[in-house]
Chains A and B, each alone.
Chain A
Amino acid sequence: GNSVTQMEGPVTLSEEAFLTINCTYTATGYPSLFWYVQYPGEGLQLLLKATKADDKGSNKGFEATYRKETTSFHLEKGSVQVSDSAVYFCALTPSGGYQKVTFGTGTKLQVIP
């Protein structure tokens, strides 16, 4: 079956530091890949997505590139802010059939001033 593995947190960074959160996946075919963000006490918001190999998703300074050869979709940001503190979920939907989302376990990011 499909699965998503992401690095365990929590990740603690100083403001303006570089962020990488690793994500790898297992799926047949060509799934669509997503990063969702969950701020404290809130629901999930789509941060970015990529639907085919070599696509780069980007939003709010975050970006991730769909790497088919390494089955990865690592999240990066060049300079994090305190307001980026949240839990980040890597996820995928399969290439065929309906779009059940498979989530990773989430990585908590804490940015300190």
Chain B
Amino acid sequence: NAGVMQNPRHLVRRRGQEARLRCSPMKGHSHVYWYRQLPEEGLKFMVYLQKENIIDESGMPKERFSAEFPKEGPSILRIQQVVRGDSAAYFCASSPSLETRDNEQFFGPGTRLTVL
């Protein structure tokens, strides 16, 4: 039973390029969350998605960032025209449903983005 998969694990981009980060949730999970961890800081919530829907994007910058979770395939976090300040570790988490209050999120290994 594979856990949450993220790829690539490491991504290097030059300023102005696009970064695409992929997340495959655990089997049977329909809820995906993206978090960003800046160097020496904790994780900050970015966006919460269900299949084909963005539920909460309150933590995502208004410009250059977008996320999707299509009916088929992984969730994608897309950063256009990257800047050095986007350098961070981006973590994806998934959960099965909201039906139980005790609802753990399972985290992927993260994608470490470096912008040169």
**Which A residues have a C-beta under 8 Å from some C-beta of B?**
32, 36, 42-46, 49, 51, 89, 93, 95, 98-106
Contacts and interface: CB of A to CB of B under 8 A. Distances in A.
B41 A105 contact: yes
13 contacts: A32-B102, A36-B107, A46-B106, A51-B102, A89-B43, A95-B101, A98-B31, A98-B48, A98-B56, A99-B98, A101-B33, A102-B45, A103-B42
Contacts of B105: 93, 99, 101
A42 B91 CA distance: 10
| Dominant secondary structure of chain B at its interface with chain A | strand
B3 to A, nearest CB: 9
A99 B93 CA distance: 11
Contacts, number: 54
Given A32-B101, A99-B98, A101-B93, A45 B41 contact: no
A99 B31 CA distance: 10
Contacts of A101: 33, 35, 43, 45, 93, 105
Which are the 4 A-B pairs with shortest beta-carbon distances?
A43-B109, A105-B42, A44-B107, A103-B42
Given A99-B98, A100-B33, A101-B33, A46 B104 contact: yes
Nearest to A100: B45
B25 interface: no
Contacts of A45: 107
B24 interface: no
A89 B41 CA distance: 10
A104 B42 contact: yes
